[in-house]
Structure 1
Amino acid sequence: MAATQATAPTETGARQPASVRVVLFALMIAMLLAMLDNMIVGTAMPTIVGELGGLDHLSWVVTAYTLATAASTPIWGKLGDMYGRKGVFLTSIVIFLIGSATSGMAQDMGQLIAFRAVQGLGAGGLMVGVMAIIGDLIPPRERGKYQGMMAGVMAVAMIGGPLVGGTITDHLGWRWSFYINLPLGAIALAMITAVLHLPKKRARARIDYVGAALLTVGITALVLITTWGGTEYDWLSAQIVGLGALGVLSLLAFVLVERKVSEPVLPLHIFRNGNFSLVTLIGFLVGFVMFGSMTFLPLFQQTVQGASATNSGLLLLPMLLAMMVVSLIAGRITTASGRYKVFVVSGGALITAGLFLLSLMDTGTSRFTSGVFMAVLGAGMGFLMQTTMLIAQNSVEMKDMGVGSSSATLFRTIGGSFGVAIFGALFTHQVQDAMTERVGPAGGKAMEGGAQLGANGLAQLPAQLKDAYLHAVADGTHLVFLVGAAISVIGFLAAWFLKEVPLRGGPASKPAAEEPRDTVPLDKAELPQGV
């Protein structure tokens, strides 16, 4: 009984017990694992290809991981809702660590791709598990206190990933880019096992295998379209068009199935909540412009401004610091006042302004000026990144916390995939056109193999061609950020239609006896035990 009473303050707004803070620390380690991995591995990829060969399959090392992560995300969320959060989350960590260990032992590119898919399967449950467990332990009204912590983890991953990856590869070998996950994962496993005690569940309903399969096929088709479109295959090729048709048909069939099964893998009723649908759209757009912009910002600074690729993570420091500080401030104010709509509206406005300012950069823009522009974008992201998840979780019933968290994560991920693909196509086309305009058809042809040149390739260009290329890259990033600003206006407008529903766990909440099921604190059967 004492254990149950110890968790009651988490839903009533009282001070969090020390054990919850220990759990949060362990969850942040797991979150860091998921975010850090791709950035460390990306730095090691040239060395990996040099040893294992298989350059023609290089893209699949990333694609296999991304596909497995995206496809498994909603399934992990549903399994947590049905069978209990803790066991499912620990399972995802173990699978991720198995994938990490076997990836480090890979002897050829085929093995590495297969083991990366296993790793991605586990990664799909890491982010969802972190968000859902936080949603269980800490009511939305209190969660703002921890927004800065989560933004800080993202900043550490973005900045430290390339630096750590380069250091590990140079001094320990590329295999340690995967092995480094093992001690971190072991710490998270031990802490969560010892401190987190959530109730075990056993759902009587059968798993929605048909719905899960259809959703996986649909998500896989969408991710492959964004990965292959304009690179492996032309956008209007039979392969891309066929994938588009497969994706649409699979998702339509998925919707029909979900309306009939007793325990759908993704309950469609959560989208009947206006706030949830709106914030999912905003999350998709945030992922679209955020991942797209973060792909081309380092490219601009390394190519046009001559910055070192080794310190590429540090180039994003103004944006990431602004994001972390603003997220912390917004979280504190949300906890104190219960207000959050103003932050979503402000975030949409700042992201639009930041992207527009970045579109003004040219070959004469200083690093200080571009840093100021990035800080504006980062402030907008700081208002939105955690606040959108907060609203999504506050808009679903406690029993749907997993699928609500996974849906918000999935749409942001899909948005990021589309953003990188579409911005990449626009950038490549613009660079080719600009090169043709400046140095004639030969310049455009020189870029047909790819619009991005490394430092070595850039140094080998004749002076005239190099100058044309620098201007072409500036033109390409101008178009990317301008289109991004136009798209982010949609998110800004959508934010105005949000309704400021009182956050669970605050003084504005009704007494428990009068609240509907989706606003009642966890009852004694659901309360974490021993936390």
Structure 2
Amino acid sequence: MTTTADRADSSSYAVGAPAPMTHRQVLEALSGLLLAMFVAMLSSTVVSNALPVIVADLEGSESGYTWVVVATLLTMTATTPLWGKLADLYDKKVLVQSALVVFAVGSLAAGLAPSMGTLIAARAVQGLGVGGLTALVQVVIATMVSPRERGRYSGYIGAVFALATVSGPLVGGLIVDTPFLGWRWCFFVGIPVSVLAFVVLQRTLRLPVVRRDVQLDVAGAVLVAASVSVLLAWVSLAGHSFDWASWQTAAMLTAGTTLLVLAVAVELRVPEPIIPLRLFRDRTTALATGASVLVGLAMFGSTVYLSQYFQIARGMSPTAAGLMSVAMVGGLLVSSIATGRAITATGRWKRYLVGGMVLVVVGLGLLATIDEQTSLVVVGAFMAVLGLGLGATMQNLVLAVQNGAAQRDMGAVSSVVAFFRSLGGSVGVSVLGAVLGHRVVDGVTEGLARLGVPVDGAAGRTVPDVSTLPPAVRAVFESAYGEGTALIFAVAVPFAVLALVCVSLLREVPLRTTVQRADEIEQAAGLAPGGAPAPGPR
């Protein structure tokens, strides 16, 4: 029997559109997609609190700490546009399942890694799968549900995001603190979730397969991935492996820029580019993309080092550090659910984007005032403010862009926003990681010199286990990491302000109530634009 809830989604379709999915069918398909999204989020959050232990066990450095995060972000970023474009051309269900398989293989390799180099390589493979899941989940949801109705389901998406973000650090902390498990299970734990998501998608996801007789832009895909990888590798290595002003910088900048120019030239010429540059002629897409870069830089670049702050500057265990993330994620959950439902009720979205970005700026500014002695209650309150802002911002930037996109471009336009957010995140983690590293080295060197402790070139470059240090030396490291963490939040503030400017300049278009645009519906119904009968053959 068809229920009222089942009939509610029928307004999302019109004459000439695909057959509507009932509310129950959407929820069934969404269950597998949410599992896929959960495992993608879990891959980064479950290791966040375990990283100090992992790096110490594998005898890594602060640079290695950064690269464990950057490797995943780099491959995720470089391949996101390719996954999105594939979604416009091929079976979306097969693509999501393929991404899950790649992710599971990378997770297994990471869990078995004998060294930092192997772990970083395995994390890069994980990133390939995460790139697919990041792009494809949003694309599939946009294929099933209209922009106006999408807020109805954003509560589920926000809940899964919050669950992965909260449970990840907690599970990771418990795994590390449990002697018979150890940090390797931080990677193994995602494998059964990937298998479950694969099975659920096989049983529940039913989408029409649109086959188009096109040739995949292989050259563009290779050039886009290569240019982004070289430039991100430069940002990640500069300041660690070589100076910013060096011949290595000149070589990598030249190579990356050359590859980028070639990529643009190819994308302008091929009929089905990986990143259709025509999309940026749309003001909403251009501004939302710019805001996504800046939000990614400020968010990922600053928050990824919070676990270091709690474990080193505050001497907390991985489990306790995981509990601290509840403050930020709680704000994110409340904000994403509330704004999603409000947007569905009103069809208006800009006010929530602007308000969210104001809170992001305020939250980052407040966190720029913390140190190793700041009350944890105060730190948690500051994190909650940042979480409220992020919850109102991240999903709604994607929604604003999808609202004006044609279904044939949905994969490309959705992945473009995700791509540039990941790009900003990769740059942010690398640049702000370098800022933190330099501040810690300076602080530790100066502090140890005041204590009369012999200082060598490696002082502050390794991630210490503060519980094993003498009290005076421990205080030096706590102070250095406390001040360094505040500094990276301060550096992130101007980027968040620029993102606020971008979203303020967006022109609001009420959310449409159909999955397809009006011109697509008319074309499918055999009508010319405006509703007149399309001219027949003469």
Q: Who is 2:530 aligned against?
A: none
| Distance (whole Å) between structure 1 residues aligned to residue 519 and residue 454 of structure 2 | 64
| Distance (whole Å) between structure 2 residues aligned to residue 285 and residue 443 of structure 1 | 43
2:380 maps to 1:380: no
Sequence identity percentage = 37
2:27 maps to 1:21: yes
2:146 maps to 1:143: no
Pick the aligned partner of 1:502 from 510, 514, 525: 510
Q: CA deviation at 1:177?
A: 3.7
Are residues 438 and 99 of structure 1, via their aligned partners in 2, closer, same or farther at CA, if it must alter by over 3 Å?
closer
| Distance (whole Å) between structure 2 residues aligned to residue 238 and residue 181 of structure 1 | 41
For 1:444-483, list aligned pairs within 5 A.
Answer: 446=455, 449=458, 451=460, 456-457=465-466, 460-461=469-470, 463=472, 465-483=473-491
Q: Give the TM-score normalised by the residue count of structure 2.
A: 0.85
For 1:252-401, list aligned pairs within 5 A.
Answer: 252-401=261-410
Q: Deviations along 1:249-305, whole A, 9 cap, x unmatched?
A: 111111111111111111111111100111111111111111122123333333343
| Distance (whole Å) between structure 1 residues aligned to residue 278 and residue 453 of structure 2 | 51
AA aligned to 1:489 is: V
Q: Who is 1:528 aligned against?
A: none
Pick the aligned partner of 2:90 from 75, 83, 86: 83
Q: Who is 1:204 aligned against?
A: 213
Equivalent pairs, count: 513
Are residues 440 and 97 of structure 1, via their aligned partners in 2, closer, same or farther at CA, if it must alter by over 3 Å?
closer
Q: Deviations along 1:362-399, whole A, 9 cap, x unmatched?
A: 34421111111111111111110111111121232111
Q: CA deviation at 1:117?
A: 3.9
AA aligned to 2:81 is: P
2:518 maps to 1:515: yes
| Distance (whole Å) between structure 2 residues aligned to residue 17 and residue 54 of structure 1 | 52
Q: Is the 8 A contact 1:151 1:323 kept in 2?
A: yes
Q: Is the 8 A contact 1:40 1:162 kept in 2?
A: yes
Structure 2, gaps ≥5 residues long: 15-19, 527-538
Q: CA deviation at 1:91?
A: 2.0
Q: CA deviation at 1:42?
A: 5.5
| Distance (whole Å) between structure 2 residues aligned to residue 467 and residue 54 of structure 1 | 22
CA RMSD of aligned residues (A): 3.4
For 1:45-84, list aligned pairs within 5 A.
Answer: 63-84=70-91
Are residues 414 and 139 of structure 1, via their aligned partners in 2, closer, same or farther at CA, if it must alter by over 3 Å?
same
Q: CA deviation at 1:491?
A: 1.0
Q: CA deviation at 1:143?
A: 1.1
Q: CA deviation at 1:313?
A: 1.8
Are residues 54 and 354 of structure 1, via their aligned partners in 2, closer, same or farther at CA, if it must alter by over 3 Å?
closer
2:197 maps to 1:188: yes
Q: Is the 8 A contact 1:159 1:314 kept in 2?
A: yes
Q: Is the 8 A contact 1:206 1:263 kept in 2?
A: yes
Q: CA deviation at 1:444?
A: 11
| Distance (whole Å) between structure 2 residues aligned to residue 430 and residue 115 of structure 1 | 29
Q: Is the 8 A contact 2:32 2:205 kept in 1?
A: no
Are residues 157 and 448 of structure 1, via their aligned partners in 2, closer, same or farther at CA, if it must alter by over 3 Å?
farther
Q: Who is 1:38 aligned against?
A: 44
Q: Deviations along 1:56-101, whole A, 9 cap, x unmatched?
A: 8966665544333222211111111011322222222223233334
Q: CA deviation at 1:124?
A: 1.6
Pick the aligned partner of 1:491 from 477, 499, 504: 499
Q: CA deviation at 1:516?
A: 2.8
Are residues 112 and 468 of structure 1, via their aligned partners in 2, closer, same or farther at CA, if it must alter by over 3 Å?
closer
Structure 1, gaps ≥5 residues long: 526-531
For 1:213-232, list aligned pairs within 5 A.
Answer: 213-232=222-241
Q: Give the TM-score normalised by the residue count of structure 1.
A: 0.86
Are residues 108 and 498 of structure 1, via their aligned partners in 2, closer, same or farther at CA, if it must alter by over 3 Å?
closer
